Amino acid sequence: MPAVDVLRDWRQLGRSLELAQGFAYYLVFTNWPEQNQAGKALLNEALQTRGLSLQVVVPNDPARLVEDAIAALFHPDLLPDLPPNSPLWLECWRNGSDPDWNLARRRLMARLNEGRGRLEKEVLRPLILLLPRYGVLRAAEDAPDMWSIRKLVVHLERPAVSAVALESFPKFAEPPTPELLARAERRLAVWRKQWAKAEAAGDMHVLSLPDAGDAFDALLETGRLQDAKTVAEQALMASRARRDNSQPNTLRELSIALDKIGHVSRDLGNLEVARAAFQESLAICRQLRSTLGDAPQTLLNLSTSLNDLGRVYQDLGDFEAARLAYAEMLAINRQARAVLGDAPIALQALSISFDNIGQLARERGDLEVARMAVSESLALRRNLRSALGDNSQILRSLSISLDNVGLVARALGDMDAARAAYEESLALSRQLRVAHGEEPVVLEDIARGLGHLGWLQRDLGDLAASRAVYREGADLAARLVALRPEHPGYRKLLASFNADIAKLNSTVSIAP
């Protein structure tokens, strides 16, 4: 984006600062230090006319992030050279993919959310919080009360690149980097050491379950599904030992551990194990709701559990059970939206409900219900994009909705609408590939989109175009298998492309 556009965003924030009285909450989502520096200089220049300047706080230790941020917010007197109403510029955007920093940011957002009332009463100056560019939905989810009082949200864009660079994708992904592999080993070593100590002491309460979560996520990221499954099983054993029905936090720990079992089991193709884990997690979420009431986060946790279970039911072919789970999920998400309004996390959850209902209705042949549901989901996600900009979560969600719209349109025989939806979906996935590199989830999205487009072109009789699309999809699927050999879904995807190509070749060879 040209510099003038960046300065326009900062000027808008500056104008809002001029009008702010008392506490005001500003969010800036960024990944680019040059743009941050430009904004900081512009704001300081404007503030100087009022005898003010920014109090700049740049934490460098995730273990101290919350402590440093809270001290800066509530004790401006610690910096005697600045007026007490100087805006606080808090930089928390660096290390966007580092698990320690991500955990620290989530803890900070939770503390801010818990202390919203105190902030509004005691902090008589603005807070400008800089977060990683693609953390918009996370910020809204972790601090919904704070999100509801935001004054302004700024989304800084990637600096402009040449058209040649945008068109020049690398053909294949590289294997997990040495840094990611080393991080996974470190986190696994930390957890194994804790586990050995807990077993020796016969006391599961000495374990730090967030460390299990860090190890689990790092192992999944590097494709080590069996090791991730072992960590998840150990965390589940510890959570069962620590369960205390009078302590909701221990129930939430158990629900999270069961979810990990469910997700890794589904990835490994063990659907019955996944179903049992998600069923138990759902029961715990219901128990927590009966204890805690209909707090927004409780409702959203219940919605997520219904989503996970519904998808496994659908994988197993139990469409009626899936339908009931998705219907309840939709009702829960509508209730959460009534509380949260149009907060992004509420709209996203609602759009997922409609997507699920639409996909299931299409599989069952109820195409009119499917059409209405996927259209509703698409409208919600277009609204989210308009409100939040082109962050990766929004673009991927929009791509998925468009793909589902295309599938329903094709089933209804509206081939032009199907082609338009598939092509827009693929364009968004390719845009994500440019922005984020060759992550497996991005490659899988592109491959599946190519499969749907190739299927449509085959039905329209354009066999040459269909073959080219299928070959590109097969190349991506083969790379996914090489990157994640334990993932059965990738092997199935590759086999599907190879079968489609063989069928096309057979069709051409017998044509008159």
Give the list of residues 6+ apart from residue 173 with CB closer than 8 angstroms, or none: 437, 438, 439, 440, 443, 479, 483
Give the list of residues 6+ apart from residue 306 with CB closer than 8 angstroms, or none: 282, 325, 326, 328, 329, 332
Distance in angstroms (rounded) separating the CA atoms of residues 154 and 388: 9
* DSSP at 143: -
Distance in angstroms (rounded) separating the CA atoms of residues 142 and 137: 9
Asked if 222 and 180 count as a contact pair (C-beta separation under 8 A), the reply is yes
Distance in angstroms (rounded) separating the CA atoms of residues 335 and 302: 12
pTM of the model: 0.63
Asked if 251 and 239 count as a contact pair (C-beta separation under 8 A), the reply is no
CATH, range 3-160 = 3.40.50.12060
Give the list of residues 6+ apart from residue 36 with CB closer than 8 angstroms, or none: 28, 30, 91, 93, 130, 156
Distance in angstroms (rounded) separating the CA atoms of residues 367 and 417: 15
Spatial strand order of the sheet with 150-155 comes to 55-57, 88-91, 126-132, 24-30, 150-155
CA distances from 398 to 54, 337, 386, 395, 405 (A): 37, 19, 11, 5, 10
Distance in angstroms (rounded) separating the CA atoms of residues 146 and 69: 15
Neighbours of 177 (CB within 10 A): 10
The sign of the CA dihedral 77, 82, 85, 90 is negative
Distance in angstroms (rounded) separating the CA atoms of residues 124 and 84: 8
Q: What integer pLDDT is reported at residue 76 of this predicted model?
A: 65
Provide the β-strand partners of residue 132: 30
Closest CA to 417 of 432, 431, 403: 403
Asked if 154 and 28 count as a contact pair (C-beta separation under 8 A), the reply is yes
Beta strands in 36-87 (DSSP E): 55-57
Element (H, E) at 129: strand 126-132
Q: What integer pLDDT is reported at residue 168 of this predicted model?
A: 28
- 199-219 burial string, b = 16+ CB within 10 Å, else e? eeeeebeebebebbbbbbbbb
- The 3-state DSSP composition of the chain as helix, strand, coil percent (nearest 5) reads 75, 5, 20
- Tokens 């953390």 appear where? 135
* DSSP at 126: E
Q: What integer pLDDT is reported at residue 500 of this predicted model?
A: 87
- Tokens 């469910």 appear where? 262
* Structure token digits, residue 327: 């219907």
- In single-letter form, the type of residue at position 126 comes to P
| Residue 290 burial by Cβ neighbours in a 10 Å radius (0-12, 13-18, 19+) | exposed
- Tokens 């995730």 appear where? 62
* Structure token digits, residue 319: 């469409």
* DSSP at 157: P
Conformation bin of residue 174: beta by default, left when phi > 0, alpha when psi is -120 to 50: beta
Distance in angstroms (rounded) separating the CA atoms of residues 483 and 494: 13
Asked if 464 and 488 count as a contact pair (C-beta separation under 8 A), the reply is no
- Tokens 């007026």 appear where? 83
Distance in angstroms (rounded) separating the CA atoms of residues 490 and 310: 22
Provide the residue-wise pLDDT of the chain in tens; the chain has 512 residues. 333 355 677 888 888 888 777 899 999 988 777 778 888 888 887 787 677 888 888 888 888 999 889 988 887 665 556 777 889 999 998 877 677 888 899 999 999 998 888 898 888 899 999 998 777 778 888 888 898 888 888 887 655 433 323 232 233 334 566 777 888 899 999 999 999 999 999 999 888 888 898 899 888 878 888 999 999 999 999 999 999 888 888 899 999 999 999 999 998 888 999 999 999 999 999 999 999 898 888 898 899 999 999 999 998 889 999 999 999 999 999 998 888 888 888 888 899 999 999 999 998 889 999 999 999 999 999 988 888 777 777 888 899 999 999 999 999 999 999 999 999 999 999 988 887 667 788 888 999 999 999 989 988 888 889 999 999 999 999 988 888 887 778 888 889 899 888 888 876 544 43
> Domain segments of the chain: what residues?
3-160
